Amino acid sequence: MKTTGDKILDKTLDKIGGKGLFVKELDRALLEEKVDITVHSFKDMPMDIDDRLPIVAVSKREDPRDVLVLPKGVDEIDFGKPIGCSSLRRKIQIEKIYPGCTVEPIRGNVLTRIEKLDRGEYSAIALAYAGLKRLGLEDRIWRVFSTDEIVPAACQGVVAVQARKGFDISFLANFHDNDSWDVSVAERSFIKALNGGCSSPSAAFGVIQDNQIILTGFYVDKNNRIFKMTKAGDRNQGEALGYNLAVEMLKGMGIYG
């Protein structure tokens, strides 16, 4: 099924309605019982989800990091051309790593973006490691950014399954990963508390250590000030952890309290 987000490729998502454009048609198909489950990249799902269509399972997290891909046969960035990037979150962090570079929007699926790159339209493109790995294109990766260099999008690398409330999902028991779920809850809670989404340069990345989640939040305010903060909390209290980290960050920005 093609969604509105797949079809409109000449504008960035924040200009046409945000992440909800990738789920609208699929939600309708679920509600009309045309399909029993839908499968999404969890990072592309809006923060507010229809109560009738809960997330019922999530995959084990693939590599969450962001990467740069160069044109085929090229081994150095030509800064005379723009870096293609569809995410404001990535753009801001890339510009910090490569001062003076030009970053311009690029839309389309991974293969379409790589075709544009290889045609010479861009010097490089920024993508999620997970998407390239799932397509068997890891050999195209030129640079892998650490999660400290570029804080990943909330739930990057996690696949989410959605179904109608009450639908028998016992067949997903061996697919569902509790670690991914606990971390995803914390990351999404942080973004939601900041009222973040596609147009807001925000990010969250959590890892589980012992029985805790170590959660890092990233946010850029309207004055282009970058805020980054890390907080630890009980893995079973991820929603509260994400919310509290957002509140602390907003206080630091002088916006809250």
Q: Is 73 left (phi over 0), alpha (psi -120 to 50) or beta?
A: left
Q: Tell me, yes or no, whether 193 and 215 share the same domain.
A: yes
What is the distance between the alpha carbons of residues 125 and 78, in angstroms, rounded to a whole number?
12
C-alpha dihedral sign at 66, 67, 68, 70: negative
pLDDT at 31: 95
Model-level pTM greater than 0.95? no
Q: What mean pLDDT, rounded, does the chain reach?
A: 90
What is the distance between the alpha carbons of residues 23 and 167, in angstroms, rounded to a whole number?
19
Q: Tell me, yes or no, whether 116 and 240 share the same domain.
A: no
| Nearest residue to 232 via CA among 246, 250, 212 | 212
Domain membership of residue 248 as a residue range: 4-62+154-252
Percentage above 70 pLDDT, the chain: 89
- Residue pair 225/252 in contact by the 8 Å Cβ criterion: no
Q: Tell me, yes or no, whether 57 and 14 share the same domain.
A: yes
Residue 75 is among the residues annotated as catalytic for this protein: no
Q: Residue 17 class from Cβ within 10 Å (0-12 exposed, 13-18 middle, 19+ buried)? A: middle
Q: Tell me, yes or no, whether 244 and 230 share the same domain.
A: yes
Q: Last residue of a domain, which of 144, 162, 185?
A: 144
Rounded to 10 deg, the angle between the 178-193 and 238-252 helix axes is: 30
| Nearest residue to 221 via CA among 241, 242, 246, 244 | 246
Q: Which of 43-47, 67-71, 116-120, 222-226 has the lowest mean pLDDT?
A: 222-226
Catalytic residue among 6, 14, 44, 66: 44
pLDDT at 86: 87
Q: Tell me, yes or no, whether 117 and 239 share the same domain.
A: no
C-alpha dihedral sign at 142, 215, 198, 46: positive
